[in-house]
Copies of this chain bind each other. A is one copy, B any other.
Amino acid sequence: MIKINSFGIIGGDKRQLMMAKSIVADGYKVYMTGFETIDTTVGTWIDTTLENTVNNSDVLILPLPITKDNKTLNSTYADRPIYLNSDFAGLISGKRVYCGMKSQLLKLCPELDPKLIYDYMLREEFAVQNAVPTSEGAIEIAMREYSGTINGSRCLVIGYGRIGRVLAAMLKGIGAYVTVASRKKQDMAWSHLAGYNAVRSDKLHETGGFDIVFNTVPYVLLDAHTLAKTCDGAIVIDLASQPGGVDKEAAKRLGIRCTHALSLPGRVAPKAAGEIIKNTVYNMLEEEYE
Which of A175-230 touch B at CB < 8 Å? 175, 184-186, 188-190, 192-195
Task: Answer yes or no: A173 CB below 8 A from chain B CBs.
Answer: yes
- CB pair B147–A175 under 8 Å, yes or no, is no
Mark the stretch among A61-69, A93-101, A123-131 that contacts chain B: A123-131
Q: Is the CB of B186 within 8 A of A128?
A: yes
Across the two chains, which residue of chain B brings its CB closest to A275? B148
Q: How large is the interface on A (under 10, 10 to 19, 20 to 34, 35 or more residues)?
A: 35 or more
Say yes or no: A174-B175 contact (C-beta < 8 A), given A123-B185, A152-B132, A270-B147: no
Our pick among B125, B190, B193 for the contact of A151 (Cβ within 8 Å) is B193
Chain copies in complex? 4
Verify if A278 is at the interface (C-beta below 8 Å from B): no
Residues of the B chain whose Cβ atoms lie less than 8 Å from the Cβ of A147: 14, 18, 269-272
Q: Is the CB of A124 within 8 A of B185?
A: yes
Q: Known contacts being A128-B186, A268-B143, is A150 close to B175, with CB within 8 Å?
A: no
Judge whether A144 is part of the interface by a CB distance below 8 angstroms.
Answer: yes
Cα–Cα distance between A283 and B123 once the two chains are bound (Å): 33
Q: Which residues of B contact A128 (CB under 8 A)?
A: 186, 189-190, 193
Asked if B283 and A148 make an inter-chain contact with CB atoms under 8 angstroms apart, the answer reads no
Asked if residues A129 and B269 are in contact (CB atoms below 8 Å), the reply is: no
Interchain Cβ contacts under 8 Å between A and B, 17 examples: A18-B147, A125-B188, A128-B190, A132-B149, A132-B151, A132-B193, A136-B143, A136-B149, A139-B143, A140-B140, A148-B271, A149-B272, A151-B193, A172-B195, A173-B173, A173-B174, A185-B283
Q: Other CB < 8 Å A-B pairs besides A124-B189, A172-B173, 6 of them?
A: A132-B151, A132-B152, A147-B269, A149-B272, A175-B194, A175-B195
